[in-house]
Amino acid sequence: MLLVAGIMAVAFNMRAAITSLPPVFPELRSAAGLSTASLAVLAALPVLGFGLFSPVAPMLARRFGEERVLGAALVLLAAGLGLRAVAPGLLLFPGTILASCAIAFLNVLLPSLIKRRKPDRAGLLIGLYLLLLTAGSVLGAALAVPLFNAANGAAGSAGAVRLTIGIWAVPALIAAIGWLPQLRFRTMPQSAGGAGGGGGVLTMGRHALAWQVTAFMGLQSLLYYATLSWFPTMFRDHGISATGAGNLLALMSVGGALTGLLVPVLAHRAPDQRLIAIAATTSIMAGIGGSMFCRGVVVVPFVVLLGLGQGAALGLAVFLFTARSADGHTAAALSGFAQGVGYLVATAGPLLLGLLHSVTGGWTIPAWTLIALGAGQLTAGVLAGRKISIRAQ
């Protein structure tokens, strides 16, 4: 029971620190003196951190054990979130880097720990973990503006910013305390070697199918983090209130949770995954177009459609790591390759969208750019969805 409670507490903290920032980007720009370009870099930092720090997590876990690395990551997350609240003008970026490093460790090690400690309940626990992850994501987006507005009168704009971006250090610290009973365990991943080790990851670059899976995963992440980072600002530019923009972002996350859980089950039963890839990606493209070009309440169904497509694409991307692999070692290597390269590709999403908006002063060119990238994701998905597999050598 303590392990399950600890897993749920960890999962809740894996996205709230990210989704709580975009709804208050205009306030951050004012309070911290940030330019649009600086906000674009800030939006890209978490994804860049995932790509850079994810490969470090297994190495640390092999030395210290997964439980201890997860505990240290929670402390690091709380510290990073606290630092950026202390001095948003000076420590916002360093604090975000620390928090991103911590979340990268949580991303990699929590599913692995579940499979090793509770293999008989892995399906249920992974489902609960995804549910709590989504809950944190939704609350982070939905509460950002109300928290800012509630604190603005009492503490002023600067104090409100500190509260809004720093309050998420509290659940991270609570999760770290709740994780203390797990530190007596030292669950050790298998040693890197053979196809599943670092060499196996590198050999994935020799396979065209590995690049197709990576392209699908990377473009899916690019579109997700681009819309996550900039759609609240776009909605506000279109006349939607700050609270409404945050609620739309939360609604997008809710839609993603539904298909993210359903699609892997459907994909497992399908003869191949090409139709699922087509349905997911066309939903994303239609959702992006409708969200950017529609106004008022008409935008709501397109935001839901976008969320459904993003969740389906993420669920399919994770499923493809195993479906396109001939054995477990190859699946581990393909997962490491696709996530390492894919998250680095995804870093370009928030940067590109912010740059295009800054240069053009509008959202039309950014919209068509994202839709064009969606066409690339569609092509990669059709190729990766074929019923073939990789056997590492």
Decide: 292 and 367 in contact? Cβ < 8 Å.
Answer: yes
Instruction: For residue 55, count CB atoms less than 10 angstroms from its CB and return exposed for 0-12, middle for 13-18, buried for 19 or more.
Output: middle
Compute the chain's Rg from CA coordinates.
20
Domain borders along the chain are 1-189, 192-393
Same fold across 1-189 and 192-393:
yes
How many whole angstroms separate alpha carbon 206 and alpha carbon 204? 5
Q: Which CA distances in Å does 179 have to 57, 75, 170, 225, 301?
A: 18, 10, 14, 29, 40
DSSP label of 393: -
Residue recorded with tokens 């191949």: 272
DSSP label of 22: G
Decide: 220 and 363 in contact? Cβ < 8 Å.
Answer: no
How many whole angstroms separate alpha carbon 385 and alpha carbon 206? 19
- Tokens coding 278: 């087509």
**What pLDDT sits at residue 192?**
44
**What pLDDT sits at residue 196?**
41
Decide: 319 and 268 in contact? Cβ < 8 Å.
Answer: yes
Decide: 392 and 220 in contact? Cβ < 8 Å.
Answer: no
In sequence order, the β-bridge partners of residue 325 are 390
Written in H, E and C, the secondary structure of 245-285 is: HHHHHHHHHHHHHHHHHHHHHHHHHCCCCHHHHHHHHHHHH
**What pLDDT sits at residue 194?**
44
Decide: 236 and 26 in contact? Cβ < 8 Å.
Answer: yes
Classified as helix, coil or strand, 241 is coil
Span 1-189 CATH architecture: Up-down Bundle (1.20)
**What pLDDT sits at residue 300?**
94
**Which H/E stretch holds residue 219?**
helix 208-237
Q: How far is CA 254 from the centre of its chain?
A: 14
* Longest CA pairwise span in the chain (Å): 63
**What pLDDT sits at residue 185?**
83
In sequence order, the β-bridge partners of residue 193 are none
- Tokens coding 366: 């950014």
**Per residue of the chain (393 residues), what is the pLDDT tens digit?**
788 888 888 888 888 888 888 888 887 777 777 777 888 888 888 888 888 887 788 778 878 888 999 999 999 999 999 998 888 778 888 999 999 999 988 887 787 777 677 777 765 676 677 778 888 888 888 888 888 888 775 545 677 888 888 899 999 999 999 999 988 888 776 554 444 444 466 788 889 999 999 999 999 999 998 998 899 989 999 999 988 988 898 888 888 878 877 888 888 888 899 999 999 999 999 999 999 999 888 999 999 999 999 989 988 888 888 788 776 567 667 777 887 888 889 989 988 998 899 899 899 999 999 999 999 999 999 999 999 888 755
The highest-level CATH class for domain 192-393 is: mainly alpha
Instruction: For residue 190, count CB atoms less than 10 angstroms from its CB and return exposed for 0-12, middle for 13-18, buried for 19 or more.
Output: middle
